[in-house]
Amino acid sequence: MCRQHRKKYLPVVLKDKTVVEIKSYLVHKKTERSQIQKNIREANVHRNAFIAKNQKNGAKGELENAMLKAIVNQGEALGYTWH
């Protein structure tokens, strides 16, 4: 397949570029993609830390709520009321 035929399959942004310009563009895009992937990995680390922290807090809150509910139920069974 000759170059003209291959160029018709390129994205519009690359159709009028030389081979050297295309290679330069691809290197730039690869670097850009690597940076984006690094940012995603870092954001995922922060996300996982946030989730882990909030799951601990949520578990504590669930235990507290269960204990308070049990105390209130036992108190009501003994005739105590809360306002």
Alpha carbon distance 1, 62 (integer Å)? 67
Long-range contacts of residues 73-82, Cβ cutoff 8 Å, at least 24 apart: none
What is the per-residue pLDDT for 24? 97
Judge whether residue 60 has pLDDT over 70: no
Q: Are 25 and 36 within 8 A, CB to CB?
A: no
Tell me the average pLDDT of the chain.
Answer: 86
Q: Tell me the per-residue pLDDT of 8-18, one tens digit each, with 9 for 90 and over.
A: 888 999 989 99
Average pLDDT of span 26-55: 93
Alpha carbon distance 27, 16 (integer Å)? 17
Cβ-based burial of 6 (10 A; exposed 0-12, middle 13-18, buried ≥19)? exposed
Average pLDDT of span 21-44: 96
